[in-house]
């Protein structure tokens, strides 16, 4: 009888411990990075802080982007230019997208901020509300 009570208490305790979430190091880092990205910037402030910065500098402050895009050469680009394109390596162009980070009115933020990197430097910043 005494053994059954002890067994029941041990089972209940282990069940409670299993129900308590234990955050991994990766989850804690993700929470910290999303907390960093939660800051809302003014338009001019954002431009001054992040123009001409490297990917690492920006990701250290803003965290991981919501989405990443790669630029590609459009089909038929050579015929549009009227001359053959250089066969060299070319520039590495990548776009990072963040959401609801830049304020344009007291209670309104742009839905999307696009940072365009050319060879690891942020050379263009675009704010927009369309998808």
The top-level CATH class assigned to 31-72+89-131 is alpha beta
- pLDDT higher than threshold 90 for residue 24: no
Choice among 10-14, 51-55, 63-67, 105-109 with the minimum mean pLDDT: 10-14
If you average pLDDT over residues 6-17, what whole number do you get? 45
Q: List Cβ neighbours of 52 (8 Å cut-off, separation of 6 or more).
A: 121, 122, 123
Residue 86, CA distances (Å) to 9, 89, 123, 125 in order: 75, 8, 22, 27
Per-residue model confidence (pLDDT) at position 106: 94
pLDDT tens per residue across span 51-97: 999 999 999 999 999 999 998 777 776 667 666 666 777 789 999 99
Q: Spell out the domain ranges in the chain.
A: 31-72+89-131
Token pair of 1, please? Answer: 């009888």
CB count within 10 Å of CB 116 equals 16
pLDDT tens per residue across span 38-51: 799 999 999 999 99
If you average pLDDT over residues 26-37, what whole number do you get? 49
> 50 or 130: whose pLDDT is higher?
50
According to the per-residue pLDDT averaged within each range, which of 18-22, 73-77, 87-91, 101-105 is highest?
A: 101-105
> 63 or 24: whose pLDDT is higher?
63
Per-residue model confidence (pLDDT) at position 4: 56
């Amino acid at each position: 009888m005494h053994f059954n009570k002890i067994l029941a208490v041990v089972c209940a305790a282990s069940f409670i411990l299993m129900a308590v979430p234990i955050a991994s190091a990766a989850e804690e880092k993700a929470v910290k990075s999303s907390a960093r990205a939660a800051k809302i910037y003014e338009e001019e402030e954002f431009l001054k802080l992040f123009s001409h910065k490297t990917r690492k500098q920006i990701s250290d402050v803003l965290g991981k982007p919501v989405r990443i895009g790669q630029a590609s050469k459009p089909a038929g680009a050579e015929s549009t230019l009227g001359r053959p394109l250089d066969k060299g390596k070319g520039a590495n162009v990548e776009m990072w997208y963040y959401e609801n980070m830049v304020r344009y009115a007291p209670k309104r933020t742009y839905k999307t901020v696009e940072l365009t990197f050319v060879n690891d430097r942020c050379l263009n910043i675009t704010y927009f509300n369309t998808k």
